[in-house]
Chains A and B, each alone.
Chain A
């Protein structure tokens, strides 16, 4: 897969099938979970080596964008069920359904979206589902990644920027950790697709939600401050790359957002979309608690608890509607969700039904 082409041939068109196979192989490699930094660098080189490579990669992006249209926690179970239903019906009725070519008016495609294709896959620091990770940044700040999280870190002469692509982070800025040392004059900023959070000597969490909020697609960001304060600006940040491109594509609300920073103090929590910051609320007792690897639950519904646990677990985790409102209190391990489920069924009148390890439903005992 070495793409070092002679310079003179660089602009000559390459064989479509060959380039396609190369793009496919690169993408398969990127998804493997074992890609090295050297390979990633080689992939970037390949992309830049020939215009045809860039075009082929666009096709991969379209494919990926198609998959990203629906939140994975809905798409994965739904697409598995359709496969199941189809094989069952074919077995029952012996009806061989003709493969459709898929050209029948599916014009509802939106563009690649503002998520920025494959960014989480290629981020500087990542965690998989059910993993947590701590990183000490160059300035001495501590960055903790929760499950399924992807961040880029860009420190320049004038600012320290953490770009959150997915998941949740807890940040203790260097000033907070070593107050006796001279403060770093560069602002410490966390950027998300919805806006930015500037640390004011502090400990805080930032979580990105993909889910549509109040019928608006595009997700939201939730910030909780544990100590001191942060300033929040909704709307894409100038120069924030992919985020700015998304907002610039005709979202008037995003264009005039971002003038009025909202100050958030210790013990407070707030959500914001790219167009507005919602009302400030008291942060829950367990804000940032995930860092301990445990989920602290005080009188919440089973549905909420399972929604939280499922972030740390592959596959689908749900419950029967009849028990969804059951009030739950307790401490559950996040890094071992099998044990958390065992704890739930032991402590509460629940029974676990598992289709596979990736398909678990809790029902009444």
Chain B
């Protein structure tokens, strides 16, 4: 991350006027002062590293603007937390001989967050069908039984999920 300089008066004003508010707002939403401070910081980094035209909305409605960016970062933060917790749970279920090294863990966590992001926006049943097919190796017949839908519906779910991922794949 490049060093941040408050090269612009308006940016400095933005920070001094609203940092306290943003931090408090995030703390109430997240229930954790440390995480809230980190995200408040990240939010300003986001604003300050954007090119100047993008700061126009920041000056017109600063709190709405900061809130929008913070909300996006919070969504990413919670996603990462969820994935991390789920990943650790899944690891705990493995026998010791299969425990990956810290480096491998970090890579896998990153990959899982990316997969989770790729699947974001899919309806729960569509997502479920896709995971049963792609990760558990079930046939459409088996997925249909598991989800209690027709095979045709499974086929439609799969096409929807595949196209979604096709567009979002890295």
Q: Which residues of A contact B (CB under 8 A)?
A: 20-21, 23-25, 27-28, 31-34, 59-60, 62-64, 66-67, 69-70, 72-83, 85-87, 89, 95, 97-100, 102, 104, 106, 108-110, 128-129, 148, 211-212, 214-215, 217, 301, 303-304, 306-307, 314-316, 318-319, 321, 324, 356-358
Contact = CB atoms under 8 A, between A and B. Distances in A.
Interface stretch (B11-19, B33-41, B53-61, B84-92): B84-92
B27 interface: no
Contacts, number: 203
Interface of B: 29, 71-76, 78-79, 82-83, 85-87, 89-98, 100-101, 103-104, 107-108, 110-121, 124, 127-128, 131-142, 146, 155, 158-159, 162-163, 165-170
A72 B136 contact: yes
A215 B107 CA distance: 11
A83 B117 contact: no
A87 B123 CA distance: 11
B137 A82 contact: no
List the 6 closest pairs (A to B, CB-CB), nearest first.
A33-B139, A215-B101, A318-B93, A81-B86, A69-B111, A303-B95
Contact of A28 (B141, B142, B155, B170): B155
B163 to A, nearest CB: 5
21 contacts: A24-B162, A24-B163, A32-B139, A34-B141, A63-B166, A69-B111, A77-B86, A77-B90, A78-B90, A79-B116, A82-B83, A82-B116, A85-B86, A97-B78, A98-B75, A108-B114, A212-B104, A303-B96, A315-B136, A357-B146, A358-B136
Given A79-B116, A104-B76, A316-B93, A32 B169 contact: no
A314 B103 CA distance: 28
A25 B166 CA distance: 12
A138 B43 CA distance: 65
A100 B166 contact: no
What is the predominant secondary structure among interface residues of chain B facing chain A?
helix
Contacts of B97: 304
Contact of A129 (B76, B98, B137): B137
A76 B135 contact: yes
B103 A83 contact: no
Given A148-B137, A358-B136, A82 B92 contact: no
B129 to A, nearest CB: 10
B166 A20 contact: yes
Nearest to B166: A59
B131 A79 contact: yes
Contact of B82 (A23, A82, A106): A82
A356 B138 CA distance: 15
A304 B135 CA distance: 22
Count chain B CB atoms within 10 A of each CB in A32, A67, A79, A214 and give the residue with the most: A79
Nearest to B116: A82
Given A100-B117, A304-B97, 14 more contacts: A24-B166, A32-B155, A34-B141, A60-B162, A63-B118, A72-B136, A72-B137, A76-B136, A78-B90, A83-B128, A97-B71, A100-B76, A102-B118, A324-B95
A100 B159 contact: no
Contacts of B155: 28, 32
Contact of A307 (B94, B121, B166): B94
Contact of B138 (A34, A95, A97, A314): A314
A63 B141 contact: no
Contact of A99 (B29, B114, B120, B137): B120
